[in-house]
Amino acid sequence: MGISQTELFPCGECGNQIAIEVHSSLNFSRQPELLEALLLGTLQLGQCEKCQSYLRVEPEFSVVDLKNNIWIGAFPAASLPHWKNCEDVCKKTFDKSFGPTAPEEIQEMGKTITPRMTFGWAALKEKMMLNQLRFDDLVFESAKAQLIESQAAPAPEEASLRLTGLDPQGFIFRWVHHLNDEYLGEKIQAPLNFVQIQQQSPLKKPDINERLKGGFFIDLYKLNSGH
């Protein structure tokens, strides 16, 4: 089972106290309603009783979904520049749960789990959407890099392109600010088979896969952060 507790946060508009359930670990295979809330954007979201403003507490927890073989160390958006340190924390946390000190059957289980790390709500939602769609995130990120290059409009500064939704026409992407998760610019639509299209494109850059893979952090930000 996951771990959570209700905490009070001051409303950004009027200062009134808002009670929000804050999680330190989530187990989506046992609490599917929390996965639903993540995808809907209501996880750790509170509303002020006095002025009706919304307040969302940034993620800082670990997520496990044993049914879908994924583990995620989720950090606040503003921690992104420190991703290397965060990755060390993730490795230790993951090892504690599934490493050599865990019971043997849990260690076995750990071998089938894909460990990941995300920053902010948009990246966490994207990772879980890809997991639900059974998409390889490494392949998806490289296709996304090509999608970005094919755009006529320049990318907004300090932003990452995130998968935010799916409709009959295809995938919906939004530019999201690195440090506060705010949407920037216009949305970008891509057909459902955009990954296959990008893979067959003569512009395909095989080195992107090489540069992204390894570790817990499979994210295009790596390409721009000097590592």
Query: Given the rule CB under 5 A, which residues bind Zn ion?
Result: 11, 13-14, 16, 48, 50-51, 53
A 10 A CB-CB count for 146 gives 18
Nearer CB in complex with Zn ion: 13/210: 13
Q: Which residues pair with 226 in a beta bridge?
A: none
In eight-state DSSP terms, residue 99 is: S
Between CA 121 and CA 124 the distance in angstroms is: 5
Nearer CB in complex with Zn ion: 31/53: 53
CB of 94 to Zn ion, least distance (A): 38
- Residue type at 150? S
Nearer CB in complex with Zn ion: 53/132: 53
Q: Which residues pair with 8 in a beta bridge?
A: 19
Cβ–Cβ < 8 Å for 173, 147 = yes
CB of 42 to Zn ion, least distance (A): 18
CB of 124 to Zn ion, least distance (A): 26
CB of 50 to Zn ion, least distance (A): 5
Nearer CB in complex with Zn ion: 47/189: 47
Q: Which stretches within the chain are classed as H helix?
A: 32-40, 83-98, 104-111, 120-132, 137-149, 194-200, 206-212, 221-224
Tallying the residues shown for the chain, one arrives at 227
